[in-house]
Amino acid sequence: MFAKHLLAALAAVALPVLARPEPDLWRRAMSLASSGTSTCGLSDEAPYVKAPKTNPWAPITTADVKAVWAFIHAPEQGLNLTDPTNATLTDNYVFWVDTLRTHPYLTPP
């Protein structure tokens, strides 16, 4: 009895995996294979494309790092920061300026 139920469960899991692929995808793949065309060429130049929006995960530019550095070290900010070249272990100083990569679902569309 148990073996019959186990065999039925295995068949239910295995049959969708062994099924034939989507008919449209199958026809398109077979027509590409039979016509001798290739989907990509290794020696071809990559086409230039322009993204519709700016990349929110792009690295921060040198100009942006310098601007952040000047902003946080300006005396009018009152952040009590010491230049890292003169800092000791007990001083407040900024060692690194970098971007914080947000999770994709938190990124605005």
User: What integer is the mean pLDDT of 32-54?
Assistant: 68
- Residue 19 inside a domain? The answer is yes
- Residue 44 inside a domain? The answer is no
Same domain, 66 and 102: yes
Number of domains in the chain: 2
User: What integer is the mean pLDDT of 76-98?
Assistant: 88
Q: Range of 86's domain?
A: 62-106
49/62 Cα distance (integer angstroms): 24
Q: Where residue 76 falls among pLDDT bands split at 50, 70, 90? A: very high
- Residue 7 inside a domain? The answer is yes
- Residue 49 inside a domain? The answer is no
Determine whether 48 is exposed, middle or buried from the number of CB atoms within 10 Å of its CB (0-12, 13-18, 19+).
exposed
Contact 93/87 with Cβ under 8 angstroms? yes
Q: Report whether pLDDT(72) > 60.
A: yes
pTM (two decimals): 0.44
Query: What number of residues does the chain have?
Result: 109
CA dihedral of 46, 52, 58, 60, whole degrees rounded to 10: 120
- Residue 42 inside a domain? The answer is no
Q: Under DSSP, is residue 85 helix (H, G, I), strand (E, B) or coil?
A: coil
- Residue 40 inside a domain? The answer is no
The percentage of residues in the chain with a pLDDT greater than 70, rounded to a whole number, is 60
How does pLDDT run across 44-55, given as a tens digit for each residue? 777 777 878 877
